[in-house]
């Protein structure tokens, strides 16, 4: 039996929200590391919690990754997702 789907919406209970953030942050960091290893990709992940605490993962050094990101964005060589609207369209079922 598989897992049930959950509604993707803000969790109102602060404690539950923090627990979910911690669990999902760990999973996201693990996926970023796996992507870097399996695909030999340069990965830079930056996450700020609701309290402002910084969490990051980099497969190499963060500075060159951010510089490459800024150059690509200026040149419009890569398609950048709007975090909310395009993500909904892309993953709609």
Is 56 part of any domain? Answer: yes
pTM: 0.72
Is 2 part of any domain? Answer: no
Q: What are the contacts of 17-23 at 24+ separation with CB within 8 A?
A: 17/50, 18/50, 21/49, 21/50
pLDDT tens digits for range 41-54: 999 999 999 999 99
Q: How confident is the model at residue 1 (pLDDT cuts 50, 70, 90)?
A: low
Is 7 part of any domain? Answer: no
CATH number for the domain including 34?
Answer: 3.40.1810.10
Q: Which of 1, 8, 2, 30 is nearest to 91 (CA)?
A: 8
Number of domains comprising the chain: 1
Is 8 part of any domain? Answer: no
65 is in which domain, residue-wise? 14-90
């Amino acid at each position: 039996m598989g897992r049930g789907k959950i509604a993707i919406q803000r969790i109102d209970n602060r404690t539950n929200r923090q627990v979910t953030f911690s669990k999902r942050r760990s999973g996201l960091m693990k996926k970023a590391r796996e992507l870097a290893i399996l695909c030999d990709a340069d990965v830079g992940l930056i996450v700020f919690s609701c309290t402002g605490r910084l969490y990051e993962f980099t497969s190499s050094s963060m500075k060159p990754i951010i510089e490459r990101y800024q150059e690509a964005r200026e040149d419009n060589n890569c398609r950048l997702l709007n975090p909310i609207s395009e993500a909904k369209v892309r993953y709609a079922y």
